[in-house]
């Protein structure tokens, strides 16, 4: 659509700008302030320059949390995106079952995040939970509060349970926008299932899949509540992701300088990735 | 192969429902029975946990404050996003692309970064521990999302409609409310649904901005779980009750939900 040049449109944007700026800029400036100052209590602050940043960037604790974060985000993207696409492809295209499927699949998305954590905690309790009990019956020595591997398995399973539906819904919306004529043409040409998928369905899903990857990347990168309730970051530090580590440093240990510097680095990283995806998406839209 | 295709979504849905079933199952058991051992369904069926929640003000006030800030946030987000989304979809103006991207970055910002400064900010302006604090704080990520979705739906409405309305002598507010908003009614519904959803499920900010009076239900849950021993039955019942509002709103938007997740631009 061609849009007309009109600077008075700023008046329409202003309420949004004011509300978001109030919530974003003031807190962000607070964090920036903390990140360059040292305090000894009593509200006395001293300018410290980039000391906290150097400390954070050099600390092995931050590196470990960052590595765990990327490992987690990578794992769930590799599972959720293909799985979501596969389920969307197998969904009925029309009929009464579509609504039933959509409503049931959207259910996990509407559950408060700490309830999701609590739910999986109950589910995974070694002796009395459904998952824990079943695995033990199968002869697997499963205990997510003691063994890091089991904790990881439970958290990844929980995230797949929680968010795969988002990918399914997006991919399904993309598939439904493909006109029937495309499939008829493919049938006349004698195209195989694979070529229909590769040359018709996948390109048509490109935009929604970009949105899916973007949302899943961002939300898993800032994950806090679910693993916190499920494992509390443990056993040891095995599931301490960036947000958990950050809250630990800020509220648990009250290391304001370190926590603030970490926040800024963390924020800049999400900003960079967000920008890359945004550019990709906008380019897709212009075509 | 073709005939077995329905198996895939069916297995997936069973997988989705298992933990929910387990939660419901737990909520009808006594805590003693839960801790006593594994059983696939309640042996001594009891609704004591639900009675406790619905009669104890600590519990049901949690629900009331959750619903209050979620509804407030939904109303604020949709109301201010409507004109902004219209501006983005119809006009070009100085800095529009940068502004849009900046809005998006706030949807992507990790709430953990903001938890502490938010606490200080809302204490300073005297809103701490009120539903308004949480409702305003959730605007941080809900307004960008609302603008994004609404802009997608509005761009689907041809511009000729606006022009015809102006030629017919409609003023802008009159046109916007009488003609334009009904045209994107489904978009507004979907947007409200998403604002409701993300405000309902977010807990980190909701918890750090409330202490006693406006505590959300999910925070009541965590605190009860840790203070009064491990009351699994109560915890499960409270969990089940938090699923219900979500399930109700999904039912109302079921036909638009897929399009909404694609931000209106499939």
Q: What is the pLDDT of residues A162-217, one digit of tens each?
A: 999 989 988 888 888 788 888 888 889 888 888 888 888 888 888 788 888 888 88
pLDDT band at B258 (very low <50, low <70, confident <90, very high): low
Count Cβ atoms below 10 Å from residue A209 Cβ, excluding itself.
Answer: 18
* Mean pLDDT value of segment B146-153: 87
Checking if the pLDDT of B54 tops 80, the result is yes
Count of domains forming chain A: 1
Inside any domain, residue A35: no
Domains observed in chain B: 1-46 (no CATH), 55-261 (1.10.3720.10)
Inside any domain, residue A168: yes
| B56-to-A101, B21, B35, B70, B162 alpha-carbon distances in Å | 36, 25, 24, 22, 53
Q: What are phi and psi of A45, to 5 degrees?
A: -125, 145
Inside any domain, residue A21: no
Q: Which domain holds residue A158?
A: 61-256+270-286
Range of lowest pLDDT (A104-118, A146-160, B29-43): B29-43
Alpha-carbon span B249 to B176, nearest angstrom: 26
Mean pLDDT of chain B: 84
pLDDT score recorded for residue B113: 77
pLDDT band at B155 (very low <50, low <70, confident <90, very high): confident
* Mean pLDDT value of segment B230-238: 82
Measure in Å the smallest separation between the Cα of B137 and chain A Cα atoms.
Answer: 6
Please check whether residue B214 is in contact with residue B16, taking contact to mean a CB–CB distance below 8 angstroms: no
Inside any domain, residue A40: no
Measure in Å the smallest separation between the Cα of A224 and chain B Cα atoms.
Answer: 8
Measure in Å the smallest separation between the Cα of B170 and chain A Cα atoms.
Answer: 18
Inside any domain, residue A183: yes
Q: Do A119 and B23 touch (CB under 8 A)?
A: yes
Q: Do B13 and A285 touch (CB under 8 A)?
A: no
Checking if the pLDDT of A90 tops 70, the result is yes
pLDDT score recorded for residue A169: 86
A21-58 pLDDT, tens digit each: 888 888 888 888 888 877 666 566 777 777 778 877 88
The complex's ipTM works out to: 0.84
Chain A residues touching B263 at Cβ < 8 A: 211
Checking if the pLDDT of B229 tops 60, the result is no
pLDDT score recorded for residue B29: 85
Question: Taking each helix axis from N to C terminus, what angle separates B131-155 and B111-124, rounded to the nearest 10 degrees?
Answer: 130
Q: Do A92 and B6 touch (CB under 8 A)?
A: yes
Find the residue in A nearest to B114 (Cα).
A27
Alpha-carbon span A52 to A39, nearest angstrom: 12
> Given A13, A90, A128, which is nearest B5 (Cβ)?
A90
Q: What are phi and psi of B87, to 5 degrees?
A: -60, -45
Strand locations in chain B (E): 91-92
> Given B204, B258, B266, which is nearest A224 (Cβ)?
B204
Q: Do B19 and A267 touch (CB under 8 A)?
A: no
pLDDT score recorded for residue B20: 92
Inside any domain, residue A262: no
Alpha-carbon span B225 to B234, nearest angstrom: 8
Checking if the pLDDT of B36 tops 80, the result is no
Chain A residues touching B258 at Cβ < 8 A: 102, 169-170, 172-173, 176
Which CATH number goes with the domain that contains A204?
1.10.3720.10
For residues B224 and A35, the model is more confident at A35
Testing the interface with A: which of B133, B262, B264 to mutate, by most A Cβ within 10 A?
Answer: B262
Structure pTM? 0.87
DSSP 8-class letter at A107:
G
pLDDT score recorded for residue B263: 62
Checking if the pLDDT of B127 tops 70, the result is yes
State which of A62-71, A247-256, A275-284, B35-44 shows the largest mean pLDDT: A62-71
Chain B residues touching A16 at Cβ < 8 A: 80-81, 84, 103, 143, 147
Measure in Å the smallest separation between the Cα of A255 and chain B Cα atoms.
Answer: 12
Helix (H), strand (E) at residue A226: helix A225-230
Tell me: cis bond preceding B261? Omega within 30 of 0 counts. Answer: no
């Amino acid at each position: 659509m061609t849009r007309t040049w009109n600077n008075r449109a700023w008046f329409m944007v202003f309420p949004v700008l004011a509300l978001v700026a109030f919530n974003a800029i003031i807190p962000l400036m607070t964090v920036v302030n903390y990140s360059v100052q040292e305090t000894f209590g009593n509200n006395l602050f001293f300018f410290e320059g980039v000391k906290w940043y150097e400390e954070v960037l050099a600390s092995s604790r931050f590196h470990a949390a960052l590595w765990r974060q990327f490992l987690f985000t990578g794992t769930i993207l590799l599972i959720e995106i293909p799985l979501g696409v596969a389920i969307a492809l197998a969904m009925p295209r029309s009929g009464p079952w579509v609504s039933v499927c959509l409503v049931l699949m959207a259910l996990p998305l509407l559950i408060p995040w700490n309830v999701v954590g609590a739910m999986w905690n109950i589910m995974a309790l070694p002796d009395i939970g459904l998952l824990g009990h079943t695995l033990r019956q199968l002869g697997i020595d499963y205990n997510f509060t003691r063994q890091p591997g089991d904790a990881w398995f439970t958290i990844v399973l929980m995230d797949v349970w929680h968010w795969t539906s988002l990918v399914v819904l997006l991919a399904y919306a993309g598939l439904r926008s493909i006109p029937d004529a495309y499939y008829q043409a493919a049938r006349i040409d004698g195209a195989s299932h694979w070529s229909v998928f590769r040359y018709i369905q996948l390109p048509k899903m490109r935009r929604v899949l970009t949105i899916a990857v973007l949302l899943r990347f961002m939300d898993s990168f800032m994950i806090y509540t679910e693993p916190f309730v499920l494992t509390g970051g443990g056993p040891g530090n095995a599931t301490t992701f960036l947000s958990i580590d950050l809250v630990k440093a800020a509220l648990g240990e009250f290391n304001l300088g370190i926590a603030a510097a970490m926040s800024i680095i963390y924020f800049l990283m999400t900003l960079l990735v967000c920008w890359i995806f945004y550019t990709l998406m906008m380019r897709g839209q212009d075509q | 192969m073709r005939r077995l295709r329905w198996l895939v979504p069916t297995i997936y849905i069973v997988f989705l429902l298992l933990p929910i079933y387990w939660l419901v199952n737990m909520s009808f058991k006594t805590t003693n029975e839960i801790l006593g051992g594994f059983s696939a369904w309640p042996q001594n069926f009891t609704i004591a946990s639900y009675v406790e929640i619905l009669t104890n003000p600590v519990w049901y006030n949690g629900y009331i404050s959750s619903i209050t800030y979620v509804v407030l946030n939904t109303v604020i987000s949709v109301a201010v996003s409507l004109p902004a989304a219209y501006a983005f979809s119809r006009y070009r103006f100085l800095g529009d692309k940068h502004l849009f991207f900046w809005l998006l970055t706030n949807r992507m910002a990790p709430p953990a970064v903001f938890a502490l400064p938010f606490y200080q900010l809302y204490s300073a302006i005297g809103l701490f521990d009120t539903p308004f604090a949480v409702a305003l704080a959730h605007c941080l990520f809900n307004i960008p999302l609302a603008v994004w979705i609404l802009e997608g739906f509005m761009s689907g409405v041809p511009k000729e409609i606006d022009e015809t309305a102006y030629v017919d002598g409609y003023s802008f507010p009159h046109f916007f409310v009488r003609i334009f908003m009904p045209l994107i009614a489904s978009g507004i519904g979907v947007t409200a649904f998403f604002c409701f959803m993300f405000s309902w499920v977010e807990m980190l900010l909701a918890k750090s901005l409330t202490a006693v009076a406006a505590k959300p239900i999910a925070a009541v849950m965590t605190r009860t779980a840790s203070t009064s021993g491990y009351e699994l039955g109560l915890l499960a019942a409270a969990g089940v009750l938090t699923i219900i509002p979500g399930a109700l709103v999904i039912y109302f938007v079921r036909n638009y939900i897929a399009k909404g997740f694609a931000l209106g631009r499939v």
